[in-house]
Each structure stands twice: as structure tokens, then as C-alpha cells.
Amino acid sequence: MTNRAFKSIPFVMLFLAITFSCSEKEETIDDQTNIKNNPVITTGKLHNEGLAYVYEKSLLNQHYDSDSDMNEQVIQDGLTFLHSNNEIINSNVIDEMFVSHYNGTEETVISEPLQIELQKLIDYVDQAITETNENGDQEIFEYSQSIINTPPEHLDEFEKLAWQHAVDVMGYSTKYWYEYYGDWKAETNLKGEFSIVSKGPKKGWWKKFWKKVKKVVVADFIGAAEGAVDGFIRGGNRSEVLSSALATGVGSSIGAAIKN
């Protein structure tokens, strides 16, 4: 995990603290209470729907003359999916977030306590996804669903929700990429070592394959957490957070899958 993925900006975090303390944010605070009491997270499911949509529209049986042509179409179809989702608001901002996470050029703000908790998830994924663990996807999914409603108590309320979005995406992302990562590689212009997925493993190939899957899964849920925090910076309500977490999770996921 690079330092860029966990860039902390004290001024913005101070802004967050002030924002959540102001009386004019009563609606946001009430919304946080509702989230805490009724934590319904759908980001992971929507995230996988977005991946399936882009794969079918942009990659399946498609042929491109250049990587730039492919990237342009992938971005277009990714944005089309986001715009078709009724949960998405502030589409121009969401578009920018999706594209920046797809390209890996985003500027993010995650507090140190949340960084530490996300690193624990990264460590868990690292030991669970291996070339010898055929059921790693189900294990991670079940684990994610078992902990999603018990975020670390020491986190602030908005950080708890960001953590929940990350956990949900972690579980769903792992299930998706366990099944479809080879298909994505076979359908992109970056063919080669992974286009033989249907022929079975060769020496050293499986280990390399699963390292790639780990990178994509981690990019997915870190992206979702970053988006959730950004959503709070902009508006602080459930819709803003879901829109942002979905856009950045899907953008990070697709970008990592194609470029890894």
C-alpha cells in the first residue's frame, strides 16, 4: 500500500470536525443516527453490478486498436452505469471521482485511525487469498458480513460508515474477482500470461494470478472508503456517501483490474 493511498490532510480533517459540530448540520447528524441504528449497506452489491455492466458493454467480444480507445470506452460505460443508478446524485462530481480513481490520480483524505483499520482488512485479505485456498472468496464474504455491523468503536461516526462501505465492498469484490478476473484479462488488449486461464495453472502462474486478484480487491475497498469520506466532506448524508463510495469503488476496481 503506497503512501498516496493514505494521504492525510489535517486542515480538511479539521474542517470535518467543525462541520459535524455545527448546529446547521442537524439533518446530517440525524442521518448519521439513522445509519448507526439501521446500517443497511448496499455498496458491495451495486459495485458488482457495475463491474458486470462494464465487462459486458466494454470488454466482452470487443476489439480495440489501442489501450486509449479501450480506456475511453470503459470510462464511458462506467459513467453510464453510475448515471443509471437512482442512488447517484451530483453527477458531475461523481464523474470526476470515478475517472480519477480509474486513472489512479485521486487525492484522498483518510484519518490515521481509519488507515489503521483498513490496513487490518488488507492484512486479512493478504492471508486469505492464496493459490491454495479455493474457498477464499466465500471465507472473505462471510467474514465481511459477520463484522459489517460492528465497526471499530474508536472511529468517528463518518469513519465508521466509511469502514462499513469498505467491508461490504471487500466481501462482494472478492467473490466477483475470484470468478471473473481471468475473463477480464482474456477480453482486454493486455492479453498474454492471463489469457490461458481456461487451460489451467502452470508453474508459478497461480501464485502470480492471485497476487493480482489481491491488488484489485484491495483497490476496490480502499477506493470505496476514500469515496465515503469524500462524500461526507461534500454533504455528509447517506446519498452523498453511497454515491461517492460506489463511484470510487467501481472506478478503482476497473482501473486496477485492467492495469494490473
DSSP string computed for 40-78: ---HHHHHHHHHHHHIIIIITT---SSHHHHHHHHHHHH
Nearest to 254 by CA among 120, 26, 63, 59: 59
Instruction: State the pLDDT at residue 44.
Output: 95
- The CA distance from 136 to 106, in Å, is 30
The region of weakest confidence among 133-142, 159-168, 194-203, 236-245 is 194-203
Do residues 101 and 229 lie in contact, with contact meaning Cβ atoms separated by under 8 Å?
no
* Residue 129 vs residues 72, 142, 201, 212: alpha-carbon distances, Å: 31, 14, 16, 10
Do residues 126 and 248 lie in contact, with contact meaning Cβ atoms separated by under 8 Å?
no
Instruction: State the pLDDT at residue 61.
Output: 85
Residue 136 has pLDDT above 60, yes or no: yes
DSSP string computed for 184-234: HHHHSS--STTTTGGG---TTHHHHHHHHHHHHHHHHHHHHHHHHHHHHHH
Residue scoring higher pLDDT (126 or 61)? 126
DSSP string computed for 155-167: S-HHHHHHHHHHH
Residue scoring higher pLDDT (13 or 256)? 256
Q: What residues contact 223, with CB distance under 8 A and at least 6 apart?
A: 101, 169, 248, 249, 251, 252, 253
- Other C-beta atoms closer than 10 Å to the C-beta of 204 total 9
- What mean pLDDT do residues 102-128 have? 92
pLDDT tier at 20 (50, 70, 90 boundaries)? very low
Do residues 101 and 223 lie in contact, with contact meaning Cβ atoms separated by under 8 Å?
yes
- Other C-beta atoms closer than 10 Å to the C-beta of 5 total 20
- What mean pLDDT do residues 6-27 have? 41
Q: Give per-residue pLDDT as tens, 41-99.
A: 789 999 999 999 999 999 998 888 888 898 999 999 999 999 887 666 667 888 999 99
Nearest to 216 by CA among 163, 164, 176: 176
- What mean pLDDT do residues 102-118 have? 90
Do residues 243 and 88 lie in contact, with contact meaning Cβ atoms separated by under 8 Å?
yes
Do residues 87 and 245 lie in contact, with contact meaning Cβ atoms separated by under 8 Å?
no
- What mean pLDDT do residues 18-39 have? 42
SS3 call for 179: helix
Q: Where are the domains of the chain?
A: 41-259
Residue 260 has pLDDT above 80, yes or no: no
Nearest to 257 by CA among 187, 172, 165: 187
Give the torsion through C-alpha atoms of 120, 15, 33, 47, to 10 deg: -50
Instruction: Please give the helix or strand (H or E) that residue 240 lies within, else none.
Output: helix 238-259
Residue 203 has pLDDT above 60, yes or no: no
Q: pTM value?
A: 0.80
Question: How much is the mean pLDDT over the chain?
Answer: 80
